[in-house]
Chains A and B, each alone.
Chain A
């Protein structure tokens, strides 16, 4: 049995792994099979992570985090968690391969997943002009007209990035101002290829076999109009990835995993959570990293208190006392 299993391989997961490994807890990380490194692997220049004054490519940053975690003895598994048993003192993690791993504690750092628009045409045209990954798919929109939907930092980053390929990039936003940081806004405003469409929602993505346009609805007067384009990049935010713990851990009204105050303690003893999956507000690489550190320190403390209890009390009662 392991002392700690870390689920997730973003900044929270790797920061937790670095601290847990340096505390000699020999963490096992389940990094996922095809999303190792998390959201940052889909970005390009990361300019706001401390320690990299020239900026660093998102995928490179994640490789460095992994190297650092492995250097101190983290074991990384490229597999996906398909089931979790958190009820008893021994936590069980079932993987896609069928293997089951056991641990005294789990750090749950699964981050968040792209939010969908939930409109007609989106699912059908996904991969046929509708995309969630500008760095993956921008290449296919050379000299095309496309739109980015959203008003946050990731929408600005995608729009700016996509001007490398597209001849025209519309940014469609529901409000008349952006939630993106000043520097990202200014960069987008200064870009000649970017045109903002304010106070508008995408009502439908048009096209039979490939995207040919969108229907927009004004959030001011409800009027609709169609806009011809060949691609739609959706950047309207993310939802915490909690499907594995529904009914097992307490969630907040925002849909994130509930934690006790500034700690990483969830509603179940021995289960700790960190990063975007607990954070409805800040959701930055650096805040996620800090949150992962908190979780590793909380795990260390929890394991130490288990040990203390087993020294003082008969073994069978120890778990109950801690858990009770």
Chain B
């Protein structure tokens, strides 16, 4: 299972009301580092299907959420739990570094 997409329409259901931790990857087509970190997130999702849900949010198509969460740098990855942001990771990172950042959720 690779990471799925979320949108403003499904945000509440997908993210805020989700049971377990949800990592949202704020990304855009024109952002090179976003395109590179995307397959890494897919891998982390497929290796940890029970522990975390990874969703991708296109900031071009969902500008209100990007504004609401004050995104000024992408890729930005936020881990939500119980509707709250628990962790924020800014910038593309190698898999081992992301796994370290997410150790509290997937460790």
Contact = CB atoms under 8 A, between A and B. Distances in A.
Is B a genuine binding partner of A?
A: yes
Given A42-B32, A96-B95, 6 more contacts: A32-B94, A33-B94, A41-B33, A96-B96, A128-B70, A139-B28
A34 B39 CA distance: 9
Interface string A140-155: 1100000000000000
Given A35-B92, A139-B59, A131 B37 contact: no
A78 B74 CA distance: 21
A127 interface: yes
A232 B52 CA distance: 34
Nearest to A142: B63
Contact of A127 (B72, B93, B95): B72
Interface of B: 28, 30-34, 36-37, 39-40, 59, 66, 70-74, 76, 88, 90-96
Contacts of A34: 33, 36-37, 40, 92-94
Contacts of B66: 140
A41 B70 CA distance: 25
A141 B70 CA distance: 11
A127 B32 contact: no
Nearest to B73: A127
A127 B91 contact: yes
Contacts of B96: 80, 82, 96
Interface string A72-96: 0000001110100000000000001
B73 A140 contact: yes
Nearest to B93: A34
A1 B50 CA distance: 39
A136 interface: yes
- Interface size band for A: 20 to 34
A231 B72 contact: yes
Interface string A109-128: 00000000000000000111
A52 B106 CA distance: 46
Given A33-B95, A42-B32, A136 B40 contact: no
Closest 3 CB pairs of A and B: A127-B90, A34-B92, A127-B73
Contacts of B95: 33, 96-97
B46 to A, nearest CB: 15
A42 B73 CA distance: 13
A36 interface: yes
7 contacts: A37-B32, A41-B32, A80-B94, A82-B96, A136-B31, A140-B66, A140-B73
Contact of A35 (B30, B34, B36, B71): B36
A181 interface: no
Nearest to B75: A136
A129 interface: yes
Nearest to A82: B96
Nearest to B36: A34
Interface in A39-83: 41-42, 59, 78-80, 82
B40 A137 contact: no
B32 A33 contact: no
